[in-house]
Structure 1
Amino acid sequence: MSLVEQLNADMKAAMKAKDKETLSVIRMLKADLSNEQIKAGHDLSADEELSVVSREMKQHVEERDSYADADREDLVADLQAQIEVLKRYMPEQLSEEEVRAIVQETIQAVGASSKADMGKVMGALMPKVKGKADGKMINQLVQSELA
């Protein structure tokens, strides 16, 4: 089942359950996917769909964090609920240990030895973990391994 089909099925279920929060997130995600499809000029591949969902997840997390810094707990709770809905459409996230193993394997594969090689490592690493791990965590792990 494609992501759009899954979203349509979940949207119907949310309408029947009168779950306004889930419904609004699903509608937003469907609109983003539709806009991306129009911009691309073709049906989106699974990777392209994943990148749209990942982008939305990242935006919501950053927005939640900024509201938390401003002590706006009411908005933080709303955004956290939206993030939980978005997580349903993300692939299973890798643990820090799994990411560290992939980072070490990639560093050996590209022959990196210093922080100057970080670009090579990240370029080889990101396709392996796209959508499965947080970019900040990946960056920190690569920096610590190359230090």
Structure 2
Amino acid sequence: MSLQAKINEDLKEAIKTKQEPLLSTLRLLKADIQYELTKTGAQQLIDEQIITLIKRGYVKRTDAIQMYEKANRTDLADKEKAEAEVLKSYLPPEVSEEQILTALEKIIAEVKPAGPKDIGKVMGRVMAEFKGLNIDGSKVSAIVKSKLS
């Protein structure tokens, strides 16, 4: 079953059972998917494209959580946390630090970077290696910087 079909099925189930955080989050995700379908003219998105949309929504939620917590709006922060958890459940497991280090060692051997000035080049290669997977760019950036500095 594709990720898009799973989201549609889960949305139908959430409507029937009236599970509020799940229902509102999946409706927003479904709207994002529909917008992307309209924009591209495709009939269905591949899982990699849907994962990108989910990641985008997850990042928006985490940014909103930080802003709401700074403003002492715990009610809104809790709502965003619930939505972020729903989105996170649809993401594949996050790439581990060991996997990043293994890929980084291989890329460093191939590219032979001259130092900190090549961080962007190495970062791009590492991110391309894990394209379509759940990887935290800030974690990769910190690891690459520590290796090349």
Distance 1:21 1:104 in 2: 41
Aligned residue number for residue 144 of structure 2:
142
Aligned residues: 147
Matches within 5 A, 1:13-32: 13-32=13-32
Paired amino acid for 1:49: I
Aligned residue number for residue 53 of structure 1:
54
Asked whether the equivalents of residues 22 and 83 of structure 2 are also in contact (C-alpha less than 8 Å), the reply is yes
Aligned residue number for residue 89 of structure 2:
88
Structure 2 segments unaligned to the other structure (5+ residues): none
Aligned residue number for residue 35 of structure 1:
35
Larger deviation: 128-137 or 71-80?
A: 128-137
Determine whether 1:133 maps to 2:139: no
Aligned residue number for residue 8 of structure 2:
8
Structure 1 segments unaligned to the other structure (5+ residues): none
Paired amino acid for 1:30: K
Alpha carbons of structure 1 residues 106 and 66: separation in structure 2 relative to 1, 3 Å: farther
Distance 1:21 1:139 in 2: 32
Matches within 5 A, 1:90-105: 90-105=91-106
Instruction: Tell me how far 1:80 sits from its aligned partner.
Output: 0.7
Instruction: Tell me how far 1:34 sits from its aligned partner.
Output: 0.9
Normalising by structure 2, we get a TM-score of: 0.89
Larger deviation: 31-40 or 103-112?
A: 103-112
Asked whether the equivalents of residues 104 and 145 of structure 1 are also in contact (C-alpha less than 8 Å), the reply is no
Paired amino acid for 1:122: M
Distance 1:116 1:14 in 2: 49
Paired amino acid for 1:132: N
Distance 1:88 1:30 in 2: 15
Instruction: Tell me how far 1:73 sits from its aligned partner.
Output: 1.4
Distance 1:71 1:145 in 2: 38
Larger deviation: 39-48 or 60-69?
A: 39-48
Q: CA RMSD in A?
A: 1.6
Alpha carbons of structure 1 residues 104 and 65: separation in structure 2 relative to 1, 3 Å: farther
Distance 1:101 1:73 in 2: 40
